[in-house]
A = this chain, B = another copy of it.
């Protein structure tokens, strides 16, 4: 990464009040949600530029009643851009983010390209917004699982120090993109018609099936790339040294991730106190109705901004009473991606605090 414009003062870290905004990867699953978030949240932009691969150029997308044409991304795309929201994969971010910064834009990058770069803040606004003050042009938007975990755990970590986290995920198709969501629908329809279906996007049958996350396995630890990302990013966002154990699994759900969390604290944590902290935490909605057996579900989280948290219990696996267990569900495309990126951008606007 080569950024030749230094953002040294707080003021330099801000975006102009009515920025020109570009979305890189506008036609993808997250790109479409970025448009939706900017519109719905009335983001005060002057102009919106939609960028994508040459293959998608010419497509028309609606924004605030206008028809915007998608342009092919190239070196000259960022001439007048103040804010560039990247969501076109690591390769595109590595190739074009520095170009955008050099042209004067602040980049909020949804890929994993810069997430562990010490010069790039990795931000969940509810958790570590202060990290935005030291950005140098690029801000990384975290892995969707890490975002959901940190939104749910930060309010608890502020009350008792976290000593260990155990994570098991139920990840939806959207994390693998729009084509994976389509593959889940199509392969399920074929299954119900008793027809064969050859997976094209994902490596395993997906209809009424689940499988270990399809990122490469680290030969030394046996953990897959997704698991190692979640560990590293969760620790970085929360400034945490605690060890994290994790298993990431894809389930046949369309667009919200569910996560079973067990957290060991440095002292006992009464569930009533944890619940109260979560109820007043930004970005969290407690769904924990034991009598009605109603807890967080992807069907309730999909399309919503909040991370739903429930099943707040003392872990029966830890007789010391220092461990809690929770079940959190968040929309992978919104808080797990597009919404968090737009929330980061909102914090950067000059006229907001």
Contacts and interface: CB of A to CB of B under 8 A. Distances in A.
Contacts of A214: 293
Q: Looking at A214, A297, A312, A316, which has the most chain B CB atoms within 10 Å of its CB?
A: A316
Interface stretch (A22-30, A94-102, A160-168): A160-168
A317 B243 contact: yes
A189 B189 CA distance: 7
Interface in A175-208: 184-185, 188-189, 192, 203-205, 208
Interface residues of A, number: 61
A85 to B, nearest CB: 28
A297 B203 contact: no
A184 B188 CA distance: 11
Interface stretch (A12-20, A120-128, A218-226): A218-226
A325 B189 CA distance: 34
A156 to B, nearest CB: 16
A35 interface: no
A125 to B, nearest CB: 27
A202 B299 CA distance: 14
Nearest to A211: B297
B258 A316 contact: no
A317 B184 CA distance: 32
B165 A317 contact: yes
Interface stretch (A44-52, A73-81, A104-112, A245-253): A245-253
B313 A252 contact: no
Given A222-B271, A251-B251, A293-B212, A299 B217 contact: no
B188 A290 contact: no
A170 B327 CA distance: 13
Interface in A141-173: 164-166, 168, 170
Contacts of A166: 166, 262, 317
Contacts of A212: 293, 295, 310-311, 327
Contacts of A310: 212
Contact of A252 (B251, B262, B290, B318): B251
Contact of A244 (B211, B295, B311, B317): B317
A208 B249 contact: no
A319 interface: yes
B258 A297 contact: no
Contact of A216 (B185, B245, B293): B293
B290 A219 contact: yes
Interface string A215-238: 011010111100000010000000
Contact of A210 (B203, B247, B297, B323): B297
A315 interface: yes
Contact of A249 (B170, B188, B291): B170
19 contacts: A164-B317, A166-B262, A188-B208, A209-B253, A209-B298, A209-B299, A211-B297, A212-B293, A212-B327, A221-B313, A243-B318, A243-B319, A244-B317, A247-B260, A247-B325, A249-B327, A251-B251, A251-B252, A252-B252
What 10 A-B pairs come out closest when comparing CB atoms?
A: A245-B317, A222-B313, A168-B168, A217-B290, A212-B295, A209-B299, A245-B315, A247-B260, A168-B260, A208-B254
